[in-house]
Structure 1
Amino acid sequence: MILTQLPAEFQAAKPVLDTIEAAGYEAYFVGGCVRDTILGKPLHDVDIATSAFPAEVKGLFKRTVDTGIEHGTVMILDHGNGYETTTFRTESGYQDFRRPDTVTFVRSLKEDLKRRDFTINALAMKPNGEVIDLFDGLADLKAGVLRAVGVAEDRFHEDALRMMRAVRFASQLDFDIEPATLQAITDNAALLSKIAVERTRVEWEKLLTGQKPVRGLQALLATELYRYMPLMADQKPALEQLVALPAWQLPTVESVWTLLAWLRQAPQPANVRQLLKAWKTSNELIDHVTAAVRALSALKCAGQLTSRECFDVGLAALTTANQVATILGFGQPQSHLDAAYAALPIHNKHELAINGGDLLKRQLVTPGPAMGRVLAACLDAVITGKVKNESTLLLDFARMVADSKNN
C-alpha cells in the first residue's frame, strides 16, 4: 500500500527522515500515526523509528534532547517542532511486567516491529507513503480486529498495561479483540495489578471517552480485567449498568468520573474522594467531580437546582452533571441551566459588595468566627435574592444579623 494523500504533519516531518536517510540509515514513520492515517483519523503525534543509533542521530541534527536515551529515544527539534526518534531495538527480561531489563539497539526494522503490541500498531511508512506491513496489520485494520503481534501472552508479560490498551482500542476504534488475544488477557488479567495506577487510569479514561465505550467495557467484563483496577473488584453491577445504558458517549474526563461515582451508588463527598484518590487523580478533578455529583443528586431529586446549589456547584461542574444526567435519562436542556446560572446576582464570594474590613470599620463585629458567620449570612442572602448586592443594604442586613447573634 502507498498512501498518496499524506497529512501535513508528515510533510512537515519529512525533512527529518530525509536527513537520516541521506546519511545512509533507514528511517520510517511508525505506530499510531500510520494506523490513524489509514483510518482517516486526526493525528496526535508523529513518531519516527530509525536504524541510526542515538549518538548517530544526535550527530545529524543541531538541536536534540535526550528524552529517553536509555531506550534509544531522542527528540529532534526542527523548525519549531519536536519529533521523537527512536532507534530500532529489541527488549528482554521483563521481571516487573512493565519495563525491559535489557534494551539492545539493532539495525533491523523487523526486529523492532515484532516487539510492538498489536499488529495495527506494527506498521511503518516510508517518507513517500509506502506502508511496510510485516505482521498483517493492514488486514486487521480492514477487518476491524485487534490482534497481538506474535504470541499474545508474551506481549502482555512484556508490559501488562497492553491488556488495558487492548480494551481501550476496542472502544476508541470500535474493533473486536480476536479470540486468542482476548483469552490471553483473561489468563493474565491479574498482572494489571503490577502496573502503576496512573498508567492504568489514562487507558481507563480513554476507554470511557471512546467512540464505542460499550465494546471496551464488554471486553473488560469478559476478561475480568476490572477486578484488578482500584476499587473496582466488586463493581461488576455498576459496569453492567454502563453496558446496558442506551447509546452514550462521555465528552470529558470529568464526566467519566462523575458517572462512575454515581453508578457506585456512593455519591457522598467522602466516597467520591475515596474513589478518586485511589485512582490518584488531581485535587482539582476531585473538587470538580464532588461538586458535579452534588448537582447530579439535585437534578435527580428535584429536576433543578436552587440558586444556592447553582452558586456552590459552579457552571463547569453543573455542565458536567447535566452531561451525565442526560446519559442517565434525567438531564435538562443545558440552555435552561446556563440561564439559571447567569441569573445569579453574583458568581463568586469575591463579588459580594462588602467584606470583613467594612464590618470592622463600622464596628459591627470583632475579628474571629462571628465575622465569618455574618459574611456567610450576607452571601446567602444575596444569592437567594433576599437582599440586593449593594453595600448600604448589606451593611444594614449585617447589623441585623450581628445583633440577633448577640442577643
Structure 2
Amino acid sequence: MQIKKLPQEFITARPILQTIEGAGYEAYFVGGSVRDTILKDHIHDVDIATSAFPSEVKDLFKKTIDTGIKHGTVMVLDHQQKYEVTTFRTESGYQDFRRPDKVTFVRSLEEDLKRRDFTVNALALKEDGTVVDLFSGLQDLQNHILKAVGIPEERFHEDALRMMRAVRFASKLDFVIEEKTEAAIKHNAPLLKKIAVERILVEFEKMMMGQATTKGVKYFLETGLYAYCPQFEGKLKPLSQLLNLNPKFRLTTETQVWLLICHTLELSREQSRSFLRAWKTSNELIAEVESGIQLLNAISKNSVSEKLLFRTGKKVLQSVINVLLAMNSKIDTSTLLARYNELPIKSTHELNVNGHDLLTANITTPGPQMGRIISYLLDGVLTGQFKNNQSELLLKAKKYTSSNLES
C-alpha cells in the first residue's frame, strides 16, 4: 500500500528521514501517526524509527538532545520542529511488568516492530508513502480489529498498561478486541496493580472520551480490569450503568469524565474528594467535580438557585449539561443554560462595588463583615432585588450595616 497524499506533518518531517537514508541507514515513520493517517484521522506526534544507532543519528544532525539515549531515543531539532528518532531495538526482562530490564539496539525493522503492542500500531511508513506491514495490521485496520502483535500474554507481561490501552483503543477507534487478545487481558488483569495510577488515569480518561465509549466500558468491565483500578473493586453494578450512555454524545473533558463517574457511583462531595485523590487527579479537577455534584444534587431536588448557578460558573455548568445528555436525562438542560445566561453578572469582578469602595465610603472596616456585605449585595443583584449600580449598592450596603448594628 502507498499513501499518495501524506499529511503535512509527515511532509515537514521528510528531510529527517531523507538525511538518515542518505547516510545509508533505514528510517520510517512509525506508531499511531501511521495508523491514524490510514484511518484519515487527525495525527498527533510524528515518531521516527531508524536502523542508525543513537551516536550515528547525532552525527547526522547539528542540533540534537539526548531525551532517552539509554533507550535509543534522540530528539532532533529541525526548523523549530522537534522529532523523536529512536533506534530499532529489542527488549527483554520485564520484572516490574512496565519497563524492560535490557534494551538492545538492532538494525532490523522487523525485530523492532515485533515488540510493539498491537498490529495496527506496528505499521511503518517510508518517506515516499509506502506502508510496511509485517503483521497484517492493514487487514486488522480494515476489519476494525484490535489484535496483539505475536503472543498476547507476552505483550501484556512486557507492559501491563497495554491492557488498558486495548480498551482505550476499542473506544477511540470503535474496534473489536480479537478473541485471544481479550482472553489474555482477562487472564492478566491483576497485573494492572503493578502500574502507577497516573498511567492508568490517562488511559481511562481517553477511553471515556472515545467515539465508542460503551464499547470500551464493556471490555473494561468484562475483562475485570475495573477491579484493579482505585476504588472500583466491588462496583461492577453501578459501573454497569455506563453501558447505557447515549452513543450520540461524547464526553470532551476530564471534568466531565469524573463528574459522570462520581455521579454514577452516587458519591457525595466529600466522598468524591477522597475518591479523586486516590486517582491522583489535580486539585482543580477535584474542585470542579465537587461543584458539579452540588449542582446535580440541586437539580435532582428542583432547588437550583441563581446564586448556585453563579457559583457553578459556565465551564462546570456545561460539564453538568453534557453529563446529563450523556446519561439520557430528561432534565431540560436548555432552561438551565438560559437561566445562567440571564444572570445579570457572571463573576464577582462584575459587581459594581468592591471592598475598596466600601472602605472609601466608610461603610465598614477590613474584616469578616466586609465579606458578608459583599455577599449580601451579590445575592441582591443575582435575584434581581438590586440593580448593579454603584450608588444604589453603596446605599444598600449602608442600610445593611446599620440594621445589623441595631440588631
Note the alpha carbon deviations across 1:124-155, whole angstroms, 9 max, x for none. Answer: 11111221111121221122111111111111
Task: Report which stretch shifted further, 119-128 or 17-26.
Answer: 119-128
User: What amino acid is aligned across from residue 12 of structure 2 in structure 1?
Assistant: A
Deviation at 1:257, TM superposition (A): 1.1
Greater displacement, 352-361 / 72-81: 352-361
Deviation, 1:351, is 2.3
Q: C-alpha distance in 1, partners of 2:296/2:290?
A: 10
| TM-score (norm: length of structure 2) | 0.95
CA distance, structure 2, for counterparts of residue 356 and residue 127 of structure 1: 64
- Residue identity opposite 1:98 in structure 2: R
SS in 2 for 1:172: helix
Distance in structure 2 (CA, Å) of the matches to 1:153 and 1:309: 51
* Distance in 2 of aligned mates of 1:132 and 1:328: 43
Q: What are the equivalent positions in structure 2 for 1:29-68 lying under 5 Å apart? A: 29-68=29-68
Cα deviation for residue 331 of structure 1 reads 5.9
Question: After the TM superposition, which residues 262-281 of structure 1 pair with which residues of structure 2 at under 5 Å, given as runs?
Answer: 262-266=263-267, 268-281=268-281
- The runs of 5 or more residues in structure 2 that have no matched partner are none
1:63–1:77 contact (8 Å) kept in structure 2 = yes
- Matching of residue 366 in structure 1 with residue 350 in structure 2: no
1:52-92 Cα distance to aligned partner (Å, 9 max, x none): 11111111111112221111111111122211110001111
Aligned to 2:85: 85
Q: What do residues 96-147 of structure 1 show as CA deviations (whole Å, max 9, x unaligned)?
A: 1111111111111111111111111111111112211111212211221111
Secondary structure at the counterpart of residue 76 of structure 1: strand
Correspondence 1:7-46 to 2 at 5 A: 7-46=7-46
Counterpart Cα distance in 1 of 2:135 and 2:197: 31
2:190 pairs with 1:190: yes
- Tell me if the contact between 1:26 and 1:50 (Cα under 8 Å) persists in the aligned partners: yes
CA distance in 2, matches of 1:391, 1:48: 62
Q: 1:257 is matched with which residue?
A: 258
**Matched residues in 2 for 1:329 and 1:208: separation?**
16
Q: Could you give the per-residue CA deviations for residues 210-246 of structure 1, whole angstroms, max 9, x where no partner exists?
A: 1111111111111100001111112212221010234
**Partner in structure 2 of residue 397 of structure 1:** 396
Equivalent pair of 1:322/1:331 in contact (CA under 8 Å): no
1:131 alignment counterpart: 131
Deviates more, 1:337-346 or 1:393-402: 337-346
Letter in 2 for 1:364: I
Aligned-residue offset at 1:343: 2.2
Checking the alignment, whether the CA contact within 8 Å between 2:227 and 2:233 is kept in structure 1 is yes
Residues of 2 paired with 1:377 and 1:128: CA distance?
69
SS at match of 1:314: helix
CA distance in 2 between counterparts of 1:78 and 1:283 reads 37
Shift of 1:367: 2.8
TM-score (norm 1): 0.95
String of CA shifts for 1:358-402, please: whole Å, max 9, x gaps: 333443333322222222212211221111122222222222222
Kept after mapping to 2: 8 A contact 1:124/1:133: yes
> Offset at 1:352?
2.1
1:210 aligns to 2:176 (yes or no): no
Letter in 1 for 2:6: L
Matched residue type, 1:381: G
Change over 3 Å in CA distance of 1:405–1:287 after alignment to 2: same
Deviations 1:309-349 (A, max 9, x none): 11100011111111111122336666544442232222211
Give matches, 1:7-406, under 5 Å: 7-247=7-247, 248-266=249-267, 268-302=268-302, 305-330=304-329, 336-406=335-405
The alpha-carbon deviation at position 2 of structure 1 amounts to 1.9
Residues 283-292 or 120-129, more deviating: 283-292
- The change in CA–CA distance for 1:329 and 1:141 in structure 2 (over 3 A counts) is closer
How many Å apart are 1:355 and its aligned residue? 2.3
Q: What RMSD, in angstroms, separates the aligned Cα atoms of the two structures?
A: 1.7
Contact 1:189/1:225, CA 8 A, preserved across alignment: yes
Distance 1:84 1:328 in 2: 41
CA distance in 2, matches of 1:232, 1:16: 46
SS in 1 for 2:301: helix
In 2, distance between residues paired with 1:328 and 1:120? 32
Q: Distance in 1 between matches of 2:22 and 2:323?
A: 54
Provide the rounded CA distance (Å) in 1 between the counterparts of 2:211 and 2:108.
Answer: 36
Tell me how many residue pairs correspond in the alignment: 405
Task: Give the unaligned 5+ runs of structure 1.
Answer: none
Alpha-carbon separation, structure 1, partners of 2:375 and 2:326? 35
Per-residue deviation, 1:33: 1.2
CA spacing shift, 1:2–1:366, aligned 2, 3 Å: closer
Output the amino acid matched with 2:127.
P
Counterpart contact for 1:324–1:331, Cα < 8 Å: no
- Are the aligned partners of 1:323 and 1:331 in contact in 2 as well (CA < 8 Å)? no
Q: Secondary structure at the match of 2:98?
A: coil
Q: Is the 8 A contact 2:246 2:328 kept in 1?
A: no
Q: Percent identical across equivalent pairs?
A: 54
**1:355 partner letter:** N
